[in-house]
Structure 1
Amino acid sequence: MVSHRQFFNEEMETLPKQQLQALQLERLQAVVERAYTQNEFYRKLYDEAGVKPSDIQSLDDIRKLPFLEKKTVRAAYPLGTAMRPTGGEGGALQLHATSGTTGKSVPVFATKKDIENWADLNARELWMVGLRPGDVMMNCYGYGLPTGGFGFHYGAMAMDVMSIPMGSDARQYERMFDFIKDFGVKAVCMTPSVGLYIGNKAAEQGLDFKQTSLKIGLFGAEPWPWETRLKIEHLLGITAYDEFGMTEFLGPGMTCECEARDGMHAWADSFLVECINPETGEPVPDGQDGELVWTWLTGDGTAMIRYRSRDLSRLWWEERCSCGRTHPKISAIKGRSDDAVSIRGLIVFPSQVEAALIQFPETASNFRIIVDRKNDLDTFALKVEVKDQALLDDADRVKSLQTSMAAAVKSITGNTPKVELVPQDSLPRASGGESKTASARVEDRRRSS
């Protein structure tokens, strides 16, 4: 029976590394040729760099191509990266875009071919974590210009899973709980911060998800430490899987963990991923920390070639994972090279602070780092939401908790923050797709001073 298959697309998911890389080279050469001959933006970019499509004779030759920076793509707005006309047979049928919170949006044009491939990639991931035809999935990513909700929605349809498009508003947690119980939801997709939020709300109500059909959670759009994963698993009674995607490449469907949960498989038939030193742009050895750079090998409506993600991770190949798949892996996203903040000479990532705070049961699901400079010295303040607002009326308990939290953060980051406890839901929160954690969790006032 189909439900007993180990893979959704066995031929492609288990293709040997040598054949995968041969396919990558073939598709890389084709996309570079097409971009150069059909797209004025790329032709000018490559002419200025002194490179021609014929220069790409091996995968290593990708280094001859210039990086794409977000600011470069924004400068080409609105149609600079488009490869097809809109509408009509073979044309772009769907438009998505990044949030544009710090400038013009980056538009992504999807043809029917793109959407079908997108559905296949997402179906691979849903199948990989344990969903099967007839199951029910609640999709708590946003449905809008950022691609968060749509990828898994299309993937569920491709594998005959019923998708509930709940959306990313965590305030409707009561309805989420009802639907999980009443419709036999087996899997949820959401950001880690939303997972913590609804998990804490369920705990407040005494709801035990182990008494429901819920078994699986897919979490992405934010870096999240292992401590957060364990907390979410405890609160929701599930096995939690890490997934990663970018709206610039149609978001979900780029990478996801398998049952081994020791890295996310990056689908090499559709994406060529590099890992570089963010300072020099040079490649780093397999398994070494660096910045991920992505090339969309199968993009039909949009060309994205050597796009710097600013996401910090590691990349490595295995001949074959214990799950049977052959595609390379990336590690959990540590943070972003443009989101890390240097405080008193030490680099601090929001995920490090989260790992420290998750140890405290009083902590709710959100916090905010505030960095400033006074008398030529950096200041480090930390606002932390607490679950029980009544705690804020107990001065001794507040002082003790502030001291303990500051010490925990210092033990991980090397910096001691001034901690302020605030009511739950009082701080900005990223709901997924439209932003990364830093925009909601870091406020660097030095940049505007």
Structure 2
Amino acid sequence: MSVRSFFQEEIETLPKKKLKALQLQRLQAMVERVYHQNTFYRKLYDEAGVKPADIQSLEDIRKLPFLEKKSVRGAYPYGMALAPIGGENGAVEVHATSGTTGKSVPVFATMKDIENWADLNARELWMTGLRPGDVFMNSYGYGLPTGGFGFHYGAMRMGVMAIPMGADARQYERFIDFIFDFGVAGMCMTPSVGLYVGNKAREMGIDFKKSKLKTGLFGAEPWPWETRLKLEEYFNITAYDEFGMTEFLGPGMTCECEVRDGMHAWADAFLVECINPETGESVPDGEEGELVWTWLNADGTAMLRYRSRDLSRLWWDDECACGRTHPKIAAIKGRTDDAVPIRGLIVFPSQIEAALLRFPETGANFRIIIDKRNGLDTFDLKVEVKDNAMLESEEFVKSLQKQMAEAVKSVTGNTPHVHLVTADSLPRATGGESKTASARVEDRRKLQPAEQK
């Protein structure tokens, strides 16, 4: 068992001043490259009146226009590519966003990209306690969205055996069998899948204290601290938050260290900004805003000043106890596009999740349904129960629904009409293919009248 504290100690502990100098060097090189090699970027920057020579400091990144998902989709299919397709130095792998709201955003990866990606993910697995010789069960999806691939490559890079289990929570018995039979030490999945599997294991009387499991990485959807505590209770693990976007090859962008006070964002690979989502102006360190990402060492695909729509906070922690010097982002609160306005108030799915988890009867998932009746918003909330037998008592159901409605009102200001539904009956995110909105929110106000049911 290795006693090293870091996978790549020199870069992970590089002083802040040197990190920022490296960021500027790579930013200048990237802007130079995209301007002269990519038609999409040259046109974008010419229209904005900015040239590569204008980038003389990190603050000058603000001279570059933002990338929006809709503008990137306009470059589909090859407009964002920086490398040829195939060949010795060309793209050898392509991933893409789900395309649930339009054309997918393709991401082309060269072998250099895949090697860098593996290193970033290995840093995170190492940081969360895995070591060469361990077994890692990867329960993110494997496909065009990149939930599963990043940690798979990272595990192999650091000498950990990867089990590509995939994200189908219905095979929970195999999940559990493999954890015990193969001596799994670490795993990754979405929090909602983790709650589902953990609840099933508890129903089966499984005690994970008898397993070798010690670490869990969870992401792809916002999750409150209450969910973390529940996952740790279910699996007898330390749960870590991680974050990635398919537009940047997914996992490997940020992850918590053992301190678990924010996720380290790898500054040698990404320059992250935090802006006011309404004005586009930068907000001070530590203030909430929307994250904007620039890929500094990309080889096959360029993403510069890409608006994520994810709401968080950004700060540099000069004295993180883990010894790493890279900046931190807070847990994702929600997204600007799944912040749901209801009756004049903003509601986030993560707020509702935190309220529902106060109740031991709450199952693994819930769904928010917003509609409009007679010009007024309606707010219905479907909540899975752990045990379907709970639904047999009408008096119990009415009491629990009332309590849940009051708990949700206390954190959102809105009172929902709560419906208790059978376990495992609602859709859930499995990683990579979606953010929270598609799995947890159904806003029927956006439908045409003829489409409403």
Give the TM interval when normalised to the shorter protein. Answer: over 0.9
Give the deviation of 1:427 after TM superposition. Answer: 1.1
Instruction: String of CA shifts for 1:403-438, please: whole Å, max 9, x gaps.
Output: 000001001111000000111121111111000011
Structure 1 partner of 2:178: 179
The secondary structure found in structure 2 opposite 1:314 is strand
Letter matched to residue 407 of structure 1: E
Structure 1 partner of 2:451: none
Letter matched to residue 119 of structure 1: A
2:30 and 2:46 map into 1 onto residues whose CA distance is 16
Instruction: String of CA shifts for 1:109-147, please: whole Å, max 9, x gaps.
Output: 000000000000000000000000000000000110001
Instruction: String of CA shifts for 1:43-100, please: whole Å, max 9, x gaps.
Output: 0000110100110000000000000000000011001110001100100000000000
2:79 and 2:57 map into 1 onto residues whose CA distance is 27
Structure 1 partner of 2:331: 332
1:281-320 to structure 2, matched below 5 A, reads 281-320=280-319
Give the deviation of 1:360 after TM superposition. Answer: 1.1
> Does residue 212 in structure 1 map to residue 207 in structure 2?
no
Any stretches of 5+ residues in structure 1 without a counterpart? none
Structure 2 partner of 1:244: 243
The secondary structure found in structure 1 opposite 2:337 is coil
2:344 and 2:31 map into 1 onto residues whose CA distance is 41
2:436 and 2:365 map into 1 onto residues whose CA distance is 10
1:412-427 to structure 2, matched below 5 A, reads 412-427=411-426
The two structures have a TM-score, normalised by structure 2, of: 0.98
Give the deviation of 1:158 after TM superposition. Answer: 0.6
Give the deviation of 1:391 after TM superposition. Answer: 1.5
Letter matched to residue 71 of structure 2: T
Instruction: String of CA shifts for 1:215-252, please: whole Å, max 9, x gaps.
Output: 10000000000000001100111000000000000000
2:416 and 2:318 map into 1 onto residues whose CA distance is 45
Any stretches of 5+ residues in structure 2 without a counterpart? 449-453
The secondary structure found in structure 2 opposite 1:151 is helix
Structure 2 partner of 1:161: 160
Structure 2 partner of 1:94: 93
Give the deviation of 1:318 after TM superposition. Answer: 1.7
Structure 2 partner of 1:358: 357
Give the deviation of 1:447 after TM superposition. Answer: 1.1
1:35-434 to structure 2, matched below 5 A, reads 35-434=34-433
Give the deviation of 1:377 after TM superposition. Answer: 1.0
Give the deviation of 1:24 after TM superposition. Answer: 0.2
2:408 and 2:234 map into 1 onto residues whose CA distance is 23
Structure 1 partner of 2:19: 20
The secondary structure found in structure 2 opposite 1:126 is helix
Question: Please, which moves more after superposition, 360-369 or 306-315?
Answer: 360-369
2:49 and 2:422 map into 1 onto residues whose CA distance is 57
Instruction: String of CA shifts for 1:381-407, please: whole Å, max 9, x gaps.
Output: 000111211221210000001000000
Structure 2 partner of 1:444: 443
Letter matched to residue 133 of structure 1: P
The two structures have a TM-score, normalised by structure 1, of: 0.99
The secondary structure found in structure 2 opposite 1:214 is coil
The secondary structure found in structure 2 opposite 1:48 is helix
1:18 and 1:124 map into 2 onto residues whose CA distance is 21
Could you list the structure 1 runs, at least 4 aligned residues long, displaced by more than 2 angstroms after superposition. Answer: none
2:389 and 2:129 map into 1 onto residues whose CA distance is 41
Letter matched to residue 151 of structure 1: G
1:319 and 1:401 map into 2 onto residues whose CA distance is 46
1:396 and 1:358 map into 2 onto residues whose CA distance is 21
1:107 and 1:3 map into 2 onto residues whose CA distance is 38
1:268 and 1:248 map into 2 onto residues whose CA distance is 17
Instruction: String of CA shifts for 1:265-291, please: whole Å, max 9, x gaps.
Output: 000000000000000000000000000
Give the deviation of 1:320 after TM superposition. Answer: 3.3
The secondary structure found in structure 2 opposite 1:154 is helix
Instruction: String of CA shifts for 1:245-265, please: whole Å, max 9, x gaps.
Output: 000000000000000000000
- Matched pairs, number: 448
Letter matched to residue 236 of structure 1: F
1:211 and 1:409 map into 2 onto residues whose CA distance is 36
The secondary structure found in structure 2 opposite 1:3 is coil
2:107 and 2:424 map into 1 onto residues whose CA distance is 33
2:445 and 2:193 map into 1 onto residues whose CA distance is 29
2:32 and 2:172 map into 1 onto residues whose CA distance is 49
1:123 and 1:345 map into 2 onto residues whose CA distance is 44
Letter matched to residue 317 of structure 2: E
Q: CA RMSD in A?
A: 0.7
Give the deviation of 1:368 after TM superposition. Answer: 0.5
2:232 and 2:406 map into 1 onto residues whose CA distance is 26
Instruction: String of CA shifts for 1:151-171, please: whole Å, max 9, x gaps.
Output: 000000010000000000011
2:422 and 2:384 map into 1 onto residues whose CA distance is 5
2:145 and 2:287 map into 1 onto residues whose CA distance is 30
2:360 and 2:79 map into 1 onto residues whose CA distance is 49
1:404 and 1:368 map into 2 onto residues whose CA distance is 17
1:326 and 1:126 map into 2 onto residues whose CA distance is 17
1:28 and 1:125 map into 2 onto residues whose CA distance is 24
